[in-house]
Amino acid sequence: MDDYPLLNLFLTMLYLFLWVMWFFLLFKVVTDLFRDHTLNGWAKAGWLIFVILLPYLGVLIYLIVRGRSMHERDANAVKDSEAAFRQYVREAAGTTGGGSGGSDHVNDLAKLAELKDKGALNEDEYERAKAKLLA
């Protein structure tokens, strides 16, 4: 280990880290290209060729030109994913009560609980209405 100084070891680790980060950034740019629905096929192909033939310059220019919209597309993808998940949960919860009427029962139970919390229904009225809904 005497022929490889500690500073060279740190530089080697730094170069390895930068190399891994470079590939992460390159994959992020290529992924963003294919996920962008506003670009047509020719524009995507042009950017991809530019990024592959001149990788450092291509990625740097891509980040300068389209960096802000990359973030917006990521944020929209997260919103769409969350909305799809919430819709799935709503549909799954609605089918547990026996078809599409299950979500109506859930809503009615929620309304009953709200009325009970506000004091419009006493405990006996709440239990009778709940039993009627669940029957």
* 97: pLDDT strictly greater than 50: no
Task: State whether the Cα torsion 60-64-69-75 is positive or negative.
Answer: positive
Residue among 75, 54, 62 nearest 30 (CA): 62
DSSP 99: T
| Structural contact between residues 33 and 71, judged by C-beta atoms closer than 8 angstroms | no
The predicted structure's pLDDT at residue 16: 96
pLDDT tens-place string over residues 72-93: 988 888 999 999 998 888 888 7
Query: pTM, whole model, 2 decimals?
Result: 0.56
Percentage of the chain modeled with pLDDT above 70: 91
Tokens representing residue 119 in the block: 């004091």
Cβ neighbours around 50 below 10 Å, total: 15
CB 103 within 8 A of CB 93: yes
pLDDT in tens, 49-67: 999 999 899 999 999 999 8
